[in-house]
A = this chain, B = another copy of it.
Amino acid sequence: MVQKSALARPPASGMAKAGEATRQAIIDTAEKMFSDQGITAVSLRSILAEAGANTAAAHYHFGSKENLIAEVFARRAKRVADERMDRLGEVLKRDDDATLLEEIIRAFIEPGFFGGADTREAGEQFARLRARLTTDDSELAGRLLSDVFDESSHRYMKALSDALPDLSKIDVQWRFHALLGVMVYTVTGPGRIQSLTDNACDPSDLHTAVEHLVPTLAGMFRAPPTLFTT
């Protein structure tokens, strides 16, 4: 086999294929466009145009749009889950103290909002993508999220139960559901509260959001047990 050209392609260590760069460009562009505009709202064609590739390349590398979504998701998701586990381990190492609950919540939210990537901006983009996935296609989202996040979420629920011995399991579960809801709603940013407050309150600023949500959600978990069973 004759090499057509040695131009501009250094003999990178593990890189076997030339098309690897195209593949990465498609994934990068897809992540950006999906998180900005939504999964179903963005066509493969528009991604490929933006990435400077063609439909055949997408089919060659991924086979289908759903597979592309899955690859965009997989690239960062496990890292977010791992960051959550590591941070929970750190928090639980310390002695029990008055702010344990806050620290558990923060250890869950911060990787969720900023984790999985090398910069916080890239992490935010991935957070928006996961939230879009949840609301756009909950069937696909259910499969992808369960595989990667069930284990770490179970550990967090266990840690919350231990930190709040007065609460029943079902109470912890409902409040964890509420925590997830606040996070997804904050990241998808429907803009209701911005509209209601003339932008005084702006949850799209996720750094400020964390500082408000951590103490607020801690208060939620500290509410008395629900006197109710069905």
State how many angstroms separate the Cβ of A34 from the closest Cβ of chain B: 14
Chain A 99-115 residues near chain B, CB threshold 8 A = none
Q: Check if A223 is an interface residue, CB within 8 A of chain B.
A: yes
Which of A8-16, A69-77, A84-92, A209-217 lies at the binding interface?
A: A209-217
Contacts of A146 in B (CB 8 A): 195
Contacts of A196 in B (CB 8 A): 150, 153-154, 157, 173, 176
Q: Encode A169-189 as 1/0 by CB contact (under 8 A) with B.
A: 111011111101111111011
Q: Check if A165 is an interface residue, CB within 8 A of chain B.
A: no
Which of A19-27, A44-52, A116-124, A135-143 lies at the binding interface?
A: A135-143
In the assembly, what is the distance between CA of A50 and CA of B108, in Å? Answer: 44
State how many angstroms separate the Cβ of A81 from the closest Cβ of chain B: 13
Contact, CB under 8 Å: A190 / B141? yes
Instruction: Please count how many residues in chain A sit with their CB below 8 Å of the partner chain's CB atoms.
Output: 62
Q: Which of A175, A185, A189 has the most CB of B within 10 A?
A: A185
Contact, CB under 8 Å: A215 / B226? yes
Q: Given contacts A190-B141, A196-B154, A201-B170, are A216 and B185 in contact (CB under 8 A)? A: no
In the assembly, what is the distance between CA of A191 and CA of B140, in Å? Answer: 12
Contacts of A150 in B (CB 8 A): 195-196
Q: How many copies does the complex hold?
A: 2
Contact, CB under 8 Å: B223 / A190? no
Contacts of A18 in B (CB 8 A): none
Contact, CB under 8 Å: A177 / B203? yes
Contacts of A42 in B (CB 8 A): none
Choice from B176, B188, B193 contacting A135 with Cβ under 8 Å? B188
Q: Check if A228 is an interface residue, CB within 8 A of chain B.
A: yes
Contacts of A180 in B (CB 8 A): 185, 192-193
In the assembly, what is the distance between CA of A213 and CA of B178, in Å? Answer: 8
State how many angstroms separate the Cβ of A137 from the closest Cβ of chain B: 9
5 tightest A-B contacts by CB? A219-B223, A181-B185, A135-B135, A220-B220, A173-B201
